[in-house]
Every structure is written in C-alpha cells, then in structure tokens.
Amino acid sequence: MTNPTAAMLVIGDEILSGRTRDANMHYLALELSKHGVDLKEVRIVSDDAPAIETSVQALSSAYDHVFTSGGIGPTHDDITADCIARAFGRSIDVRDDARALLVEHYRKTGGELNEARLRMARIPEGAALIENPVSTAPGFTVGNVHVMAGVPSVFQAMVASVLSQLAGGAPLLSQTLRVMRGEGEIAETLSDLADAFGDLSIGCYPFQKDGVFGANVVVRGADGARVDAAVTRLARELEV
C-alpha cells in the first residue's frame, strides 16, 4: 500500500518579502511524516487571487490532500476563502454555524463582532468546518483542500483537528549515519546502496565543521527491518 500524498500552499506576501520566516511548512512536514502522509510539494504564493486559485486547482488535482495556511483573517488582504470558493466553483457567504461560533466567542470575550470580523464566518457552500480551539474563527475543508490560518498556534491546532480525521499510511521511519568524510568520497558506495535497496530513500546531506567535511546519510522507508539492514551494510562498508 502506498501512502496518501499531500501538498501545501502557503499564502502570504510577508513570507515572499522576507519579512517573516515561515514556520508552518516545517511543522506540517514533520506532522505528515509521523502520520504516514507523503508531502510531495510546497508552493508559496502572494496574496493575489489568480495565483491562489491557479495553485490550489493544480495541487488539488495532483495530490490526495492540500493544506493551505494564511489569508483567512478579517482584513482586506485576507482573500483565501473567496479564492478557494471560486477555484471549486462554489458560492460563498457568511454561514450560520460559523457565525454562531463567533457570536458566542465575542459574547464571552466582550469584543465586538463587527463587519470585518464577520468576514471570518464566510465559508464556501458545502465545506466542513475545522475547529479552532485557540481563537475560535474556524478553518474549513472543501473537496480535498484543508484551509487553515497562518498564525502558527492556530495553524498547529487546526492541523491536529484535520489529521485526527484523516486516514494515514505507514509512518516514514528514518535512521541517520554520520560519516566524517566528504560526500564525494562516499558517493559511489551510496549509489550502490540505493540500487540494492530500491524500496528505500537514501539521502546525503553534507556539512563542514571546524574545517572538516562530513555528511549525514539518511535512510528512509516504511519497513524498519529494511532501514536497519541498509544502515548496517553502509556502516560496515564505510567502516564507521
């Protein structure tokens, strides 16, 4: 059985301008690995309607799941929900169930549910809400696209909601062998290993420390015994 595949779409000018360093991608990558979902592609686009619509359509067709982050707040540059609705040809409006959540939240906290905040209850027709235990305003799932907030604490809570309901595959196992030689010296050994273990992914990540070249060799796969066997063979051949 192969694992389900996924892509992520990060929406936000602040990432592309370098003002903010994205944290959600790395978080999602780790969570999906644990859950047995293979993250295959990430795209980062600006707060621009055609860019969002085109990307979400392309990713939705190509992968089993798409996770988006950003652009679902109350301000004028939060256009993600409307773009997703258009990308799927669905209508969008303030929805009663989402509005009820916000009414209750602002009743408790004493804030005003003004017109701007009500934008956060705009949900495409037929979408399922994603719970937001941090700040209430919900995300939503439409088709195979899970639309979540960009604020890291909210994003993380929403990922947990989605993954609890999503069928995963075998978690990806990995072992790392640290080799204190330049990767050019071990490349042939690694290539032979990759040929012998076609079911595993074997990556080589060079580093330089105190003027000495080394590499971390990472062996990944769903079958722990195979990963063990590959790492054992590699350690023997490289006399690590």
Q: Is 49 in the site for its own copies (CB under 8 A)?
A: no
Q: Which of 149, 176, 173 is nearest to 78 (CA)?
A: 149
3-class SS at 40? strand
Nearer Cβ to its own copies, position 6 or 142? Answer: 6
215-224 in b/e form (b: 16+ CB < 10 A) is bebbbbbbee
Q: Are 122 and 94 in contact (CB under 8 A)?
A: yes
Q: Where are the alpha helices (DSSP H) in the chain?
A: 13-16, 24-35, 49-62, 80-87, 96-109, 115-118, 152-164, 183-196, 224-238
Q: Is 205 in the site for its own copies (CB under 8 A)?
A: yes
Nearer Cβ to its own copies, position 188 or 239? Answer: 188
Interface of this chain with its own copies, residues 102 to 131, rule: CB under 8 A: 111-112, 114-117, 119-120
Distance of CA 60 to the CA centre of its chain: 14
Q: Is 153 in the site for its own copies (CB under 8 A)?
A: yes
Interface of this chain with its own copies, residues 21 to 40, rule: CB under 8 A: 21-22, 25-26, 29-33, 39-40
3-class SS at 68? strand
In this chain, which of 57, 64, 77, 214 binds its own copies, going by CB under 8 A? 77
Question: Helices 152-164 & 24-35, crossing angle to 10 degrees?
Answer: 20
Q: Is 46 in the site for its own copies (CB under 8 A)?
A: yes
Give least dist CB 38 to its own copies, A. 8
Q: Which of 208, 230, 226 is nearest to 217 (CA)?
A: 230
Q: Is 65 in the site for its own copies (CB under 8 A)?
A: no
Interface of this chain with its own copies, residues 181 to 200, rule: CB under 8 A: 182-188, 190-191, 194
Q: Is 160 in the site for its own copies (CB under 8 A)?
A: no
Q: Is 210 in the site for its own copies (CB under 8 A)?
A: no
Chain positions contacting its own copies, by CB under 8 A: 13-22, 25-26, 29-33, 39-47, 51, 73-77, 111-112, 114-117, 119-120, 135, 151, 153, 172, 174, 182-188, 190-191, 194, 201-208, 218, 220
